[in-house]
């Protein structure tokens, strides 16, 4: 199927939900209730999934950019008869500023058309399809010139400041002309069914308020290190992926965008992963987002609850839900025919030994802000996780990449078990009488010795992905990042060289393993950090800048890059890719940083 490249999309957010708008002016993804809710526009995953296009009727040359330090996107269309700008945003609450951007989002999609030169004939096509395209709503023209769409659990109201909108049977199709200096605004408001219809917003006023809200947020977040514009934008993207009601950071906006076109590794990433927790916390601190870091930590502690014998899940829903059972949307063809389309993620059922290490590392990073001694629930959580590691670290698991085949003794999982106990020993004075730092230190040292012995493969000349395996895995680059092993250690230096040679692509990206067809952005940023730590900052900087060149025209990254075509692959925008960028930029700024 002929679908726009993933990189064609821009990202809008109100910190409750997110939307993707293409260079052609079509909003092809929006789940208005919350990031992981059902879509009302889903053409991203099937041409029949619904969309809202607003663009010139004539072919146009497109330029676009975010308003500085916002997720308000301005797209300029240059046509033979003139030029027009379309500015898109998800509305902030009127009067919201700073971290309040998404606290009480009204769930309104704003689109304002402004004539710049000449006269431009515009076309609007509004095709709502709630419940991932399962529903075709009734459309009702309203006395105020708007159109109400209702079906199942969804009510949508589309209004404009131009001529009254006219409904066809299942869509709105309309043309209008914009001359230089004229503005026409549209607001599309969502409400759950059986509630009051959403109040009308003035789209021009609401757009200005939304810009002010984002700018107020950035004014309180200062970063003075290397690559400041890219770090600031990365932090804005992370904020856009933050579910403001709880503080959880969604791994991505989308579900089922493929790692390989036509493949079946298509997963739902609209949840929050504990395995990414410490990396996310570090990125938020680097980007000077202390409020966001503290709220994310509070969400994680609440979601985990009392630690017992059951392993802590690797991911949770945005409000702490555990059961994220997966099902396939068999009625959707998938992006470019890549099936299945999955809703939910069964990785929540997997046993992953790395989770406690990520959580305890985050506590270690925040410990000076968490009081002396820790509150009882925090002490219980850290001690419970440390004890869980102490008794389970010898078990196999599914590993960092959440394989769906068999359990193995993955190197990265064992290293994060070591990390958990290493940080718990440091935190022991704040953990009360149940802390057992002497025992933890003994087990920590045993884990380290086991990893150094079993993880190294003489024939390959590197640390491999799992004990006894000959397969390389780019997660080995994580060892210096968590201070398990110095990058200058001869075996670690050899591993970096082998990974770069065998898993690297011509443009410097790093694949996760030999059979992975695409460069994985997080691993590529880990290589930047490893090169800095190995004393090669010049080469690290050159690699970092090559990776930056793979961002789309508005600075967004998916999960992976096809080394043959440069196409972005995987869910989009991907939090881990932007987290990797921020952390690598800070490593280039301060090589000694924790």
Sketch the domain layout of the chain as residue ranges.
Answer: 6-219
Out of 3.30.70, 2.70.98, 2.60.40, 3.30.420, the CATH code matching 6-219 is: 2.70.98
Q: Counting beta carbons within 10 angstroms of the beta carbon of residue 493, is it exposed (0 to 12), middle (13 to 18) or buried (19 or more)?
A: middle
Do the beta carbons of residue 129 and residue 42 sit within 8 Å? yes
> How far apart are the C-alpha atoms of 442 and 591, rounded to whole Å?
30
285: left (phi over 0), alpha (psi -120 to 50) or beta: alpha
Tell me if the pTM is above 0.95: yes
Query: What pLDDT is recorded for position 215?
Result: 87
Mean pLDDT for back-to-back runs of 10 residues, the chain (594 residues): 90 97 98 97 97 98 96 98 98 72 82 98 98 97 96 97 94 97 98 89 94 83 91 95 95 97 95 94 88 89 90 96 97 96 97 95 85 85 96 96 93 98 96 96 98 98 98 98 97 98 94 95 98 98 97 98 96 98 97 88
User: Cα-Cα-Cα-Cα dihedral of 494, 496, 502, 504, to 10°?
Assistant: -160
Asked if residue 373 has a cis previous peptide bond (ω within 30° of 0), the answer is yes
Do the beta carbons of residue 568 and residue 6 sit within 8 Å? yes
Closest CA to 350 of 299, 386, 396, 417: 396
- Hunting for tokens 């059986």 — which residue is that? 194
Query: What pLDDT is recorded for position 105?
Result: 87
Query: What pLDDT is recorded for position 289?
Result: 83
Report CA-CA distances (Å) from 284 to 19, 75, 118, 326: 23, 29, 45, 30
Residue 352 dihedral angles phi and psi, to the nearest 5°: -125, 120
Asked if residue 42 has a cis previous peptide bond (ω within 30° of 0), the answer is no
Query: What pLDDT is recorded for position 465?
Result: 98
432: left (phi over 0), alpha (psi -120 to 50) or beta: left
Radius of gyration of the CA atoms of the chain, in A: 24
Alpha carbon 62 to chain centroid, angstroms: 26
Closest CA to 444 of 429, 465, 422: 422
Tokens of 392: 């389970």
Closest CA to 286 of 227, 243, 240: 227
* CB proximity list for 237: less than 8 A, separation 6 or greater: 11, 71, 555, 556, 573, 575, 578
């Amino acid at each position: 199927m002929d679908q726009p490249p993933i990189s064609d999309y821009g990202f809008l957010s109100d910190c409750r939900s997110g939307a993707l708008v293409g260079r052609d002016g079509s909003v092809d993804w929006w789940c208005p209730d919350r990031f992981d809710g059902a879509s009302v526009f889903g053409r991203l995953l099937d041409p029949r999934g619904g969309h809202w296009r607003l663009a010139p009727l004539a072919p146009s040359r497109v330029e676009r950019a975010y308003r500085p330090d916002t997720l308000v996107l301005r797209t300029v269309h240059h046509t033979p008869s003139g030029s027009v700008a379309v500015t898109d945003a998800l509305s902030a609450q009127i009067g919201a500023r700073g971290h309040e951007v998404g606290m009480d989002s009204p769930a309104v999609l704003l689109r304002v058309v402004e004539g710049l030169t000449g006269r431009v004939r515009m076309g609007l096509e509004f095709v709502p399809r709630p419940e991932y395209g399962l529903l075709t709503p009734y459309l009702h023209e309203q006395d105020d010139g708007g159109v109400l769409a209702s079906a199942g659990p969804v009510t949508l109201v589309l209004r404009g400041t131009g001529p009254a909108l006219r409904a066809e049977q299942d869509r709105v199709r309309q043309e209008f002309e914009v001359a230089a200096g004229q503005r026409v605004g549209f607001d599309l408001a969502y409400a759950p069914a059986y509630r009051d219809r959403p109040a009308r917003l003035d789209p021009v006023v609401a757009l200005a308020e939304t810009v002010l809200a984002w700018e107020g947020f950035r004014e309180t977040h200062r970063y003075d290190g290397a690559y400041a514009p890219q770090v600031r934008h990365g932090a804005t993207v992370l904020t856009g992926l933050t579910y403001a009601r709880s503080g959880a950071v969604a791994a991505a906006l989308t579900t089922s965008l493929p790692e390989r076109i036509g493949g079946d590794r298509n997963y739902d990433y609209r949840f929050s992963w504990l395995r990414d927790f410490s990396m996310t916390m570090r990125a938020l601190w680097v980007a000077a987002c202390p409020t966001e870091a503290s709220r994310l930590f509070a969400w994680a502690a609440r979601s985990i609850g009392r630690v017992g014998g059951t392993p802590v899940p690797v991911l949770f829903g945005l409000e702490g839900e555990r059961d994220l059972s997966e099902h396939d949307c068999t009625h959707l063809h998938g992006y470019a025919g890549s099936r299945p389309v999955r809703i939910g993620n069964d990785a929540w059922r997997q046993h992953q030994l790395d989770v406690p290490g990520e959580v305890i590392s985050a506590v270690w990073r925040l410990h000076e802000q968490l009081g002396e001694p820790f509150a009882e629930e925090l002490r219980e959580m850290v001690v419970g996780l440390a004890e869980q590691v102490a008794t389970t670290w010898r078990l196999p698991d599914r590993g960092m990449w959440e394989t769906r085949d068999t359990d193995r003794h993955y190197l990265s999982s064992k290293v994060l078990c070591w990390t958990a106990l290493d940080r718990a020993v440091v935190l022991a004075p704040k953990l009360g009488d149940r802390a057992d730092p002497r025992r933890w230190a003994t087990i920590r040292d045993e884990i380290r010795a086991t990893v150094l012995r079993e993880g190294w493969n003489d024939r390959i000349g590197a640390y491999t992905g799992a004990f006894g395996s000959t397969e390389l895995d780019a997660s080995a680059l994580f060892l210096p990042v968590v201070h398990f092993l110095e990058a200058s250690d001869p075996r670690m230096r050899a591993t970096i060289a082998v990974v770069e040679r065998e898993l690297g692509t011509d443009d410097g990206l790093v694949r996760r393993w030999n059979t992975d067809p695409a460069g994985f952005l997080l691993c590529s940023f880990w290589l930047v950090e490893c090169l800095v730590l190995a004393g090669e900052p010049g080469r690290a900087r050159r690699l970092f800048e090559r990776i930056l060149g793979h961002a789309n025209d508005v600075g967004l990254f998916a999960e992976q890059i096809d080394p043959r075509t440069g196409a972005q692959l995987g869910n989009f925008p991907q939090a881990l890719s932007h987290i990797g960028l921020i952390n690598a930029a800070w490593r280039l700024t301060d090589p000694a940083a924790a």
